[in-house]
Amino acid sequence: MTQALPLPSLELASQRLHGGETTSVQLTEQALARTMSGEGPKVFTRVFQGAALAEARASDVLRAAGLARSPIEGLPVSVKDLFDIAGFPTLGGSRLLADAPPAQRTAEVVQRLRQAGAVIVGTTNMTEFAYSGLGINPHYGTPRNPWQRDEGGGRIPGGSSSGAAISVTDGMAMAAIGSDTGGSVRIPSALCGLTGFKPTARRVSMEGVLPLSANLDSIGPLAPSVRCCATLDAILSGEPLGELHAALLQGLRLLAPTNVVLDGMDATVAAAWERALSLLSQAGAHITHAVVAPFGELADINSKGGFTAAEAWAWHRHHIATRLSEYDPRVGTRILRGKDISAADYIDLLARRRQWIAAVSTQMADHDLIVMPTVPVVAPKIADLTQSDEAYFGANGLILRNPTLINFLDGCAISLPCHRAGEAPVGLSLAGLGGQDRRLLSVALAVEQLLASAQG
């Protein structure tokens, strides 16, 4: 099934708190109760029961004194299991690091959330070490997508921020913070009917975050709406919490690639994609359908494994030397590819990326944003992907393909739900060059309103 009712926005929840309709303690108790049943045990690797309630009580005291720290004051938020929390080992969705020394400091992004008054419910499950777009985890279990959850063993949530998405869809948190190296915020958002924002990587600190790829990692929110994402992004990046205004769609210039991003698209996604394009055109947006030649070159550029394999190998090589059997085999196999990437290969990759970004930027000169399906297929069944490596890696490559383009571009992107009520979740992606984050969010707000109006 899809989400029966729209998820409450951070803005609405904050209004309820301000109006005395509820308290942070009540919201937090509800969220914590949900972590103990249903998908909860597979969603969280660690729940901060006592600390979350203490944070909620403190928030209620401050609000009673008129001292709300931000629009997320007192709201339950989850964080991905690769953010350091002082006093605990950072697990990264793995059993391998359970005996690692506890973190000495809390990750900067989590500190910023707490300083803004967020209640941190716990750390969410993920693909081991963030190295897959499917969200399957053999160590902690795989939380099931809310769509058709009880049919045939359920469908994947998308990854790697799998628990992050389900924590929001199932009311265990009002929003979640994940990481995005090749789509790990946008993919689960698209497959689960959420809004997911990947900022320009350099805007949000990676201090205290277990890395996958230093060149590609970025930190962003999964939430019910564009405004929610914009609020969280401002807090994470340290930007002013200004009002977000919807851009004009009339005259907006969108580039819709005709190569690569539509390959392998299923009928459900194709129908939602065409419907969204039609709505945008009717609203006055100018859509240019064109080949983006650099997109066709990326598979060759990354043929040896790219930055992710090289940089993951550098981080994991000492663990893998003695403890490879403790890894998810489908993650360990991918990390091992980086062993054969030489320093010369890596330097060549850096140079080719600069050239590739320049080529895409040149084609973008006459357009405001790129528009494409976030993921070309609806969420596959978990059982279909766990039975063979061929099925697993085939689906993983297809699902990661479109979002990865924007990470390599060092750009910003957002995935918006564009399916009709009752249909399988489908994401519409808008993307811009690096540094265009606020403009992108402004356009996304207008597109979100357009899609909502079409729902009736």
Classify residue 22: in a domain, yes or no. yes
Classify residue 35: in a domain, yes or no. yes
Classify residue 438: in a domain, yes or no. yes
- Domain of residue 162, residue span: 10-454
The set of catalytic residues is 80, 160, 184
Paired residues of 78 in beta bridges: 176
| pTM for this model (two decimals) | 0.97
Classify residue 1: in a domain, yes or no. no
Classify residue 320: in a domain, yes or no. yes
Backbone angles phi, psi at 439, to 5 degrees: -65, -45
Cis peptide before 160 (omega within 30 of 0): yes
Query: What total number of domains does the chain contain?
Result: 1
Classify residue 443: in a domain, yes or no. yes
Per-residue pLDDT of the chain (456 residues; tens, 9 = 90+): 334 457 999 999 999 999 999 999 999 999 999 999 999 999 999 999 999 999 999 999 999 999 999 999 999 999 999 999 999 999 999 999 999 999 999 999 999 999 999 999 999 999 999 999 999 999 999 999 999 999 999 999 999 999 999 999 999 999 999 999 999 999 999 999 999 999 999 999 999 999 999 999 999 999 999 999 999 999 999 999 989 999 999 999 999 999 999 999 999 999 999 999 999 999 999 999 999 999 999 999 999 999 999 999 999 999 999 999 999 999 999 999 999 999 999 999 999 999 999 999 999 999 999 999 999 999 999 999 999 999 999 999 999 999 999 999 999 999 999 999 999 999 999 999 999 999 999 999 999 999 999 986
Tokens matching residue 225: 């709406």
How would you list the strands of the sheet with 412-417, edge to edge? 44-47, 119-124, 76-80, 175-179, 219-223, 195-198, 412-417, 427-432, 369-373, 253-257, 286-290
The CATH number covering residue 228 comes to 3.90.1300.10
Classify residue 339: in a domain, yes or no. yes
Classify residue 223: in a domain, yes or no. yes
